[in-house]
Each structure stands twice: as C-alpha cells, then as structure tokens.
Amino acid sequence: MKFGKEFASQMVPEWREAYMNYTYLKTLLKQILIFRRGQTRSPENSRQPPAKVASLKRRVSLFRAFSGLTSRYSNSPKKDKEDEVILVSATDEEHGENGRSYQTVFLRSSEDGGDLELVFFRGLDHEFNKVIQFYKTKVEEVVNQAEELSSQMDALIALRIKVTGPPAATPAAAVSASPFINETKTGSYPLDVIQEEHQEKRSEDTKGYKMASLEVLNHVKLNTTTETPLSTVKNVFKSLNLNLHFNKNEVRVAEEKLRQAFIEFHEKLRFLKNYAFLNQLAFSKIMKKYDKITSRNASDAYLHMVEESYLGQSNDVAKLIDRVEAAFVKHFCNGNRNQGMNTLRPKAKREKHRITFFVGCFFGFSLALIVAIIASIHVRDLLRSEGRTQYMNTIFPLYSLFGFLVLHMLMYAGNVYFWTRYRVNYSFIFGFKPGTELGFTEVLLLSSGLSVLALAAVLSNLEMELEPETQSYKTWTELLPLFLVIVVLLITICPFDILYRANRYFLLVTLWHCICAPLYSVTLPDFFLADQFTSQVQLLRNLQFYVCYYGWGDFKTRDAETCNNSEVYDVLFIVIAVVPYWIRVLQCVRRLCDGRDSTQAMNGLKYLSTIAAVVTRAIYSQKRGITMKIIAASTSGVATIFSTYWDIVMDWGLLCKNSENPWLRDKLILPSKYIYFIAMVLNVILRLAWMQTVLDFHEAPFLHRNALIAIVASLEIIRRGIWNFFRLENEHLNNVGKFRAVKSVPLPFSYEDGYKNL
C-alpha cells in the first residue's frame, strides 16, 4: 500500500482536517516533476546522450572515498553556501495560539521552475504551522484535563478512606512528618495522583509528595448519580441533595465515572501520540520525494527543523500516557497490569472468515427457499384457490413481520458498509464499546439467518397444510409463526455471552430509554432508535395482530373476524401507530429542557403534525367519507412538507444556498455530488407513499390489500435506510468540524470555587 493511502487510513477521522495535507503537497510535486520532464525533453537537452552522462556519473562514483562499514565518517563536513537549498527559520510572531511560526526561504527561486518549488515550500510551511498549532492546542487541553483528573482522584481516594476506614501502615507513612503534608484534625494519608513519580524516586526524595487529606471532602459535591426514572421524577419535584453521604454506593458511582474518564482520556492521548508520529513521518516522506524529483538535498535541513520543533521535542503526551496507565492499573485494576492494559488498549477487531462463510451459506439457503416457495405456489395454483383471501388476511401478516425485520437489517448492513468505506466513525457516534460494534458482515449474518428461519417456516406451513397426512395438525401449523417470534425474543433477551451479547444489551438499554421517555436524558442512540420505529409502524401493527390472533384463539379456525370486528382493536390500531411519534415528541421535550435548544420545539411540532396525519388516515381507512378524506390528505400533505424539509435541511444539513457545493453543504463525504440530489428526490417520492391510502389504491383488483400495505411499508423502511446514512454523515461532519474524537464523560466531583487553586 502506498504511503498516501496508509496515511489516510491511520488518521483519526474527526481530526482529518488537522493532519498534513499530503495529497495537496504531492500534487505540487507532480507539477514540478512534469516541468522538469519537459525541460529534459526540450530540443537543446535532447542533443545530449543521457546514457553517457549516467555512465560518467557511475565511473566517477567508483573513485569516491569509502565511508566505512562502521560509519567512521559520521560527522559529515559542512555544506558550502553554494550547496544550500533552503533556509528554515522560526519567528516569534503571534500566530493565534501558536506563538511561533516557521518559514522556509527557498534559495534557488531564480532557476527554471523555481517558482513551482517556491509554491511547494509555502504550502509545506502552511501545513507544518497548522500541524504545530493543532498539536500544541491539544497538548494544552490534555494537560489541563490531567490536572482535573488529579483533583478528582484526590476526592475519590479521600472518599474511599472515609467510607472504608484508614488503610494499614505503608512505607509512605514514614514521610508523614514532611512539611508538605496537609494535616487536618481527621488525619492525613498518602495519595497517588496522575503526577506521581516512581516509587524508587519517592522513597529517596519526598519533596512535593502529595498526601491524601480528608479536608477535601468538605469542599466537594457528588455531581452525578445513576440516572433512573425515579431519580428524574425526584429531581423534578424536589432538588436532589448532591452532598456526600459517605456510603459505598457513592464510592462505586464515583469509581465507575472516573474509570470511564481515564479510559477516554487515555484514548485521546493515544490519538495525540499517533498524530505526532504520522505527521512527522508524512513530512519525512514528502521531503524525500522532493529530493528525488529535484535532485536536491533539502530534506536534511527541513527535517532537522521538524525534529527540533515542538512536534518532535515535546514528550508531555508520552509522560502522561505512562502516568495514566500506572494510575489506572493501581487504582482501578488492583495492580493487575494485564487487565489494565487490555482495558486501556483494546485489541483491534479481527475479521473472521467463518462469518463470511456462513453469510454465503445463509443467503444461498434463503434463495433456495424462495425458489421452493414460488414453485410450490405455482404448481398448486394457490393464487387462484378459494383460501387465498383467508390466507392473506391471517397468515401473511404473521410472516410479513419477519420480512420487515430482515429488510431493515439489510439496509443497516448497507449503511455500515458505506460508513466504513467512507470513514464515518459510526462506532464513536453511537457510543459502542471499542471492539463490540457490528460490521456489515455480522449484520448480514444475523439478517440472513433470520430470513432462513422465516422462509423455512413459511415453506413448512404450506407443506403441512397441503399434505393429507398433516392436515389433522392444522392447529400446530398455525402456531409456527408464534414459535418463531418467541425464539427471536428469547435470543434477544438471552443473558449468556452468545450472539453478540454486548450489542443485544445495548439495544435493550436504548429501547428501555425510549419507552421511559422523557425520564432519561436523550442521547443520539435513543432518538435514532425511536426514529427507526417511526418507520416500522406496520411491524408494530403486525405484533398487535399476533396478540389478537393468538390471544383470542382465532388461530384455531384461521379466522380473524374477532380482530377485524372489534372496536377496541380499531382504537389500538391507531394508538400503536402513534406511539413511536409520541416517544419522539417526549424526547424533543426532554432535549429542549436539558439544552434549551429552540430547534427541538420545532422538531416536536413536526412529530405532532405527523401524529395528526397518521390518526386521520387511520380513521379514514376505517370510516371512509369525503370529509375525512380531505382532512387526511390535508394533514398528510402538511406533515410531508414539514418532515421533508427537516430531513434534508436539518438532519442532512443540505440545501445550503451559499455553500462551496451549491445547494448541498461545504463538506461532503461521497465523491459524487449527484448522489445527494438523487437521495433528496427519493426522500420526497418515498414520503408520498401515504397517498395510496387517500387515493384508495388498496382497492386495486390485481393486488391484495395486505400485499400493497407490505409494499408501502417496505418503501418506508428503504427511505429510512437512506436517511440513516446521510443523518450519520452529517453528525460525523459536525464532529469533524469541532475535532471531537473522544466522548465527554461527566466527572463525579465538583469543587467549590477557588478551592483547587489554594
């Protein structure tokens, strides 16, 4: 792999703009190369036989002094001024937060093509100053964060001592007479913080050694408690007492928060270390390429400057990494370094060939089952049989539920594939634990496996019903879909470490947050999952049909009249469709209260308009009438315009009139702009699928009503899949714009104003 591709693959996606623009500088070198090739091919130069020149150089080189196998002449003589190509200088001008700006003077600008090389060095200086400025800013951030974590550790260890009692005497107790110890009436105990030195050095010199003092507990409060619906309700009606109560639960909560803060902080430090290394390597590669193209020797002087700069000389990040690892192992892993390193430095996820193998097998089985089902229907002419209508009204809705699930999973697999291909950091955006996120092959494995189970059940149902030997077991035939649903639910809630337990747990927790809205703070996974349910209304209605069909015993006679003629069922039919949108309304209210973001009020109104449209369409489908038809069409039209605008402008960030890409946005991930316009048009068209309700397309004689409903529901799932990609792309670009590559973890303790500065 060429360095340019390797360099791009190793970048932190959210910091891409801060890296050296290797591609741009390489383009400038190509222009220099093209110019020099043109010079060598000119009529004047073509008269000189290049072969003889090369031979002459080779012969002359044979008479050069031998440099020695052991580098005897390591001190090379100084270059004459005539051999100098560039002069690199650092000015102390104020350059933003940089403080120092580097500038290269090209000494051969008067030569042919010198203006191109001058442009190259200007671009090189610009990129280097950009890298230095970003790196210095980030190092200052992590140093400040390290000081904050040290203060948090002061409070945590003091709280541990207060709750569990003073530890047994340690060698550190020998320094208790040091004047640097903070002595209080409650006593003082040794404290290891991020700035702690090695044990050997501390045993020799205790100067500056900090001691844990219980005095700190009088000046801190516990910021966060475990969020539950009950704690949220208490917080609404009565302010929570955040003062410390000195119990083990507070220690546990504080430890968990600080543990996560250390993990995220260590990840940021690793990103910074890798950032410095990659950029230094990139500058080395580009300068070596420049020397090769121009036959000059400018890389030594420039790379010497790079090495002597803050980027090459600063070791703050490396020291912090060592100290963070030592503190994490000691305080959160009970001294078990292997456990600590496995937590701080998770191993890269490895692709498993057996997953690809099973995906291929399951897709092959699915295709074979589809062919078998089609052949069975065609041979027995089931589409014209008397039981066709009864089958479509009862069995088809039961099995179409699995079709909706499989289609949604296939769309998500496609999203994951393209997110990975275009380096959208979906794992960070969703908040998956490192190494637990599902790749597109794993999502395909689950979807193809579910499709095999569902299709096998459909084929078994047909065969058992039509064979004379199994007709007496008709009741059991009707129970096949229910058994399949139970199997899927049991796998989802299975507590054992099989079938991606971390992802199943993440899904269930997020689902619980959606159900309990607005009692939990709303994160991106919460409202993202709720949005998925707004596109799976028909699936929820099929689940309602499951409850009615099997709960009231209609499956024994394959008769759904109990459900179809029940007024309660009709009311629930509307309520079920409203629930996902109502959850989104509540989530918007919570986000409005938490962040005071006025756009969430508009977003809530959008979902309220959709609720009005869904209700009126459902009532029209049950009651009919020209008045209800006009109301349903009007509310649906308003909701469609409102939702389409929100999708394209707010969620996707497109239709920016004055952007660098007209009517799109300044930064795009996909290389082809027309794809964005196609996606916008498709979003509009697919959102108009509701028109089949008010235009009475469901009464078409060539297609059963339930089949048309399933097609429309599938189109909405496809629209949601397209929306998912561009929604996360926009979120990723927002993170890139803010250089946000690490989660912000709330710290457990807050200090009184000015106490830490004492």
Q: pLDDT digits over 248-257, tens only?
A: 888 888 899 9
Rounded Cα distance between 714 and 712, Å, is 5
Does residue 752 surpass a pLDDT of 90? Answer: no
Backbone Cα Rg of the chain: 34
pLDDT of residue 479: 87
pLDDT of residue 182: 37
* Residue environment code for 70-94, b if the CB has 16+ CB neighbours within 10 A, otherwise e: eeeeeeeeeeeeeeebbebeeeeee
> 14-28, 57-71, 286-300, 314-328: lowest mean pLDDT where?
57-71
**CA distances (Å), origin 323, targets 198, 317, 647:** 9, 10, 46
Spatial neighbors of 215 by CB under 8 A, at least 6 apart, are 182, 184, 186
> 27-31, 115-119, 236-240, 566-570: lowest mean pLDDT where?
236-240
Highest mean pLDDT among 217-231, 333-347, 594-608, 634-648: 634-648
Q: pLDDT digits over 284-311, tens only?
A: 999 999 999 988 888 888 998 999 899 9
Helix then strand then coil, % of the chain, to nearest 5: 70, 5, 30
pLDDT of residue 636: 92
Does residue 61 surpass a pLDDT of 60? Answer: no
Over range 503-508, report the average pLDDT. 95
Q: pLDDT digits over 140-193, tens only?
A: 999 999 999 998 998 888 888 888 875 543 433 333 333 333 333 334 444 444
pLDDT of residue 185: 35
Under DSSP, the state recorded for 350 is P
Tokens of 497: 């470490």
pLDDT mean across residues, the chain: 82
pLDDT of residue 473: 58
Q: How confident is the model at residue 226 (pLDDT cuts 50, 70, 90)?
A: low
* Residue environment code for 538-563, b if the CB has 16+ CB neighbours within 10 A, otherwise e: bbbbbebbbebbbeeebbeebebeeb
Give, in degrees to the nearest 5, the angle at Cα 738 between 732 and 739: 80
List, as one string, the DSSP characters of 56-80.
HHHHHHTTSPP-TTTTTT-SPPPPP
pLDDT of residue 224: 59
pLDDT of residue 76: 40
* Pick from 75, 149, 196: nearest CA to 745: 149
List, as one string, the DSSP characters of 571-603.
HHHHHHHHHHHHHHHHHHHHHHHHH--HHHHHH
Q: How many helices (H) and strands (E) does the chain have?
A: 28, 6
pTM: 0.84
pLDDT of residue 246: 76
Q: pLDDT digits over 468-486, tens only?
A: 555 555 667 788 899 999 9
Spatial neighbors of 714 by CB under 8 A, at least 6 apart, are 403, 404, 407
Give the DSSP H/E element, type plus range, for residue 714: helix 705-737
Rounded Cα distance between 259 and 268, Å, is 14
Burial label for 95, CB within 10 Å (0-12, 13-18, 19+), is middle
Our CA dihedral for 689, 693, 698, 704, rounded to 10 degrees, sits at 70
Give, in degrees to the nearest 5, the angle at Cα 540 between 535 and 546: 155
* Pick from 265, 306, 269, 264: nearest CA to 284: 306
Residue type at 689 in one-letter notation: A
Q: How confident is the model at residue 83 (pLDDT cuts 50, 70, 90)?
A: low
Is there a contact between 453 and 445 (Cβ–Cβ < 8 Å)? no
Does residue 501 surpass a pLDDT of 90? Answer: yes
Give the DSSP H/E element, type plus range, for residue 89: strand 86-91
% pLDDT > 70, the chain? 81
Tokens of 316: 């703050």
Our CA dihedral for 712, 715, 720, 721, rounded to 10 degrees, sits at 150
Q: How confident is the model at residue 429 (pLDDT cuts 50, 70, 90)?
A: very high
Q: pLDDT digits over 592-621, tens only?
A: 988 767 899 999 999 999 999 999 998 988
* Pick from 512, 525, 437, 505: nearest CA to 724: 525
Spatial neighbors of 593 by CB under 8 A, at least 6 apart, are 518
Give, in degrees to the nearest 5, the angle at Cα 635 between 630 and 641: 125
The strand pairing partners of 656, in sequence order, are 664
Does residue 698 surpass a pLDDT of 70? Answer: no
Over range 427-452, report the average pLDDT. 93
Tokens of 2: 């060429």
pLDDT of residue 67: 42
* 3-state secondary structure at position 477: helix
* Residue environment code for 370-392, b if the CB has 16+ CB neighbours within 10 A, otherwise e: eebbeeeeeeeeeeeeeeeeebb
